[in-house]
């Protein structure tokens, strides 16, 4: 027997019951469901639906159900349909008719969206904490690797020299923006739906402000139609998770390449690498590859639900049941991704000698063009002059710093003996004094800013 079958003359088909049943995945919301139900019981007491004795009885029963669930003592029935009906059945079995009155003035429509918002708000805060930990790992790397000069890349071609710490801090500040997006998702989620009923608002004048305070919501919904049908906060949440996943994937891609024999810039710790079942010499960056691979999962979960939502009218349709699985999956996977990447960064080794050997003197081409500009030549002309110099070097298998000044003077009489001062990686970094650039002081300032953000010394 179902809680809603009074209108029906025959039971649901068994296949329909299986098709309709969301309990296998939404049982994850049992704690949120019970938390919301306790607040609702308190609200019903205030308007006289429950006596004090009944309120205590119902709340004790709900808490006992949660305790038994955590201890593995709860048995769900196929007929329970979803976590809300399961909790109600278990409660009625424990406390009798008082449990049957708990749903007074409440619909599963406002109940499920309350549960989902409670869960999502908590998950967003946990992801945010994970990003803080990841930022701490990045900051550690930036401090430890300060002084290491690496080639910066565009188009996977060596472009200009930068401090490795500058590269690490680029990820730090990107995550700071991701945290701001998470903050906005929390704000969008932090609205109480309970009291909205099925769509028109509860038929009982419960104190919604008091319920919001008890459940930790910062505000109550302004419109019951909007709130019952609202899933925009889930789109925003899944979008943020996809964004974090995609950006972690991009950095993982760089590190995968850097860990290859061809680059050899870094080596992953054994604890975060795997081997081959056939090739005994292999050390594979599977942790990074999985980080990269998971990004497709986060994007897919967003696309999956936004595609479902686009055809759903207002207010509630059963299609909205499809919001839970992509949300739960993204939360679980992203929490793991963030933790793994944090540990990978903390434990990897930077192969400084190999990096130094790989620095291509052509990285200094822009500095040489700037040299001519400082001598009075327009940049476009300087760019063309250095381009010709580079072309000559390539044709004659020379590096940029091997050309004597006399040869450089053939391309411009602005070249003097002082050009050789450019042939230093440390000096090349020193020229980038602009705020936010890769200059020594600029990167120190970035690190100090990071410390302030994280509140560390």
155 part of the active site: yes
**Distance of alpha carbon 423 from alpha carbon 413, whole angstroms:** 19
- Which residue reads 């944090």 in tokens? 342
pLDDT of 185 reads 98
Range(s) within the chain of domains with CATH label 1.10.40.30: 361-423
**Distance of alpha carbon 37 from alpha carbon 66, whole angstroms:** 12
Angle at 222 between CA 189 and CA 117, to 5 degrees: 20
**Distance of alpha carbon 429 from alpha carbon 149, whole angstroms:** 8
**Which CATH number does 361-423 carry?**
1.10.40.30
- Among candidate residues 205, 260, 276, 424, the one labeled active-site is 276
A 10 A CB-CB count for 234 gives 26
Which residues of the chain register pLDDT less than 70? 1-9
Q: What tokens does 183 get?
A: 């903050």
pLDDT of 81 reads 87
Q: Distance between alpha carbon 188 and the CA centroid of its chain, in Å?
A: 16
Contacts of 335 (CB under 8 A, 6+ apart): 126, 127, 130
pLDDT of 12 reads 73
**Which CATH number does 109-357 carry?**
1.20.200.10
Is the separation of the CB atoms in 382 and 369 below 8 Å?
Answer: yes
pLDDT of 3 reads 61
pLDDT of 2 reads 61
A 10 A CB-CB count for 455 gives 7
**CA distances (Å), 28 to each of 109, 230, 332, 335, in order?**
17, 20, 12, 16
In CATH, the architecture of 5-104 is Orthogonal Bundle (1.10)
> For residue 220, what are the β-bridge partners?
192
276 part of the active site: yes
Whether residue 315 has a cis bond before it, omega within 30° of 0:
yes
Range(s) within the chain of domains with CATH label 1.20.200.10: 109-357
**Distance of alpha carbon 211 from alpha carbon 105, whole angstroms:** 14
Is the separation of the CB atoms in 295 and 246 below 8 Å?
Answer: yes
Range(s) within the chain of domains with CATH label 1.10.275.10: 5-104
Is the separation of the CB atoms in 353 and 145 below 8 Å?
Answer: no
Q: Distance between alpha carbon 90 and the CA centroid of its chain, in Å?
A: 36
Q: What tokens does 244 get?
A: 């974090």
């Amino acid at each position: 027997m179902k809680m809603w079958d009074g209108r029906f003359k025959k039971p649901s088909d068994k296949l329909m019951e299986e098709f309709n049943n969301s309990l296998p995945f939404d049982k994850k919301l049992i704690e949120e469901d019970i938390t919301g139900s306790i607040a609702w019981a308190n609200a019903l007491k205030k308007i006289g639906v429950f006596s004090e004795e009944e309120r205590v009885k119902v709340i004790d029963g709900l808490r006992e159900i949660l305790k038994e669930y955590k201890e593995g003592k709860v048995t769900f029935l196929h007929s329970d349909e979803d976590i809300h009906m399961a909790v109600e059945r278990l409660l009625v079995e424990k406390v009798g008719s008082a449990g049957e009155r708990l749903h007074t003035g409440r619909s599963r429509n406002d109940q499920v969206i309350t549960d989902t918002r409670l869960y999502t708000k908590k998950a967003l805060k946990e992801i945010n904490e994970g990003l803080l930990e990841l930022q701490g790992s990045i900051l550690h790397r930036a401090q430890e690797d300060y002084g290491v000069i690496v080639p910066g890349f565009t188009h996977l071609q060596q472009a200009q020299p930068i401090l490795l710490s500058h590269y690490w801090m680029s990820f730090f500040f990107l995550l700071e923006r991701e945290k701001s997006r998470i903050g906005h998702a929390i704000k969008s989620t932090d609205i109480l739906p309970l009291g909205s009923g099925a769509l028109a608002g509860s038929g009982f004048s419960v104190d919604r402000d008091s319920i919001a305070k008890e459940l930790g919501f910062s505000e109550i919904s302004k419109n019951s139609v909007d709130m019952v049908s609202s899933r925009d906060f889930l789109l925003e949440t899944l979008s943020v998770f996809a964004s974090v996943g995609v950006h972690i994937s991009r950095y993982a891609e760089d590190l995968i390449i850097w860990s290859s024999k061809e680059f050899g810039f870094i080596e992953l710790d054994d604890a975060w690498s795997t081997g081959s079942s056939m090739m005994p010499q292999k050390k594979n960056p599977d942790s990074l590859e999985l980080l990269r691979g998971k990004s497709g999962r986060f994007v897919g979960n967003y696309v999956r639900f936004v595609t479902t939502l686009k055809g759903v009218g207002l207010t509630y349709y059963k299609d909205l049941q499809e919001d839970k699985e992509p949300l739960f999956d993204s939360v679980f996977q992203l929490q793991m991704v963030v933790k793994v990447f944090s540990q990978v960064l903390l434990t990897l080794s930077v192969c400084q000698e190999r990096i130094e050997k790989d620095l291509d003197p052509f990285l200094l081409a822009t500095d040489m063009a700037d040299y001519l500009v400082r001598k009075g030549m327009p940049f476009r002309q300087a760019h063309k002059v250095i381009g010709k110099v580079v072309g000559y070097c390539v044709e004659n298998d020379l590096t940029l710093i091997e050309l004597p000044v006399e040869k450089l003077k053939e391309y411009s009489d602005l070249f003097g003996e002082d050009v050789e001062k450019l042939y230093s990686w440390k000096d090349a970094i020193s020229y980038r004094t602009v705020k936010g650039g890769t200059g020594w002081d600029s990167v120190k300032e970035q690190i100090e800013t990071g410390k302030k953000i994280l509140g560390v010394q």
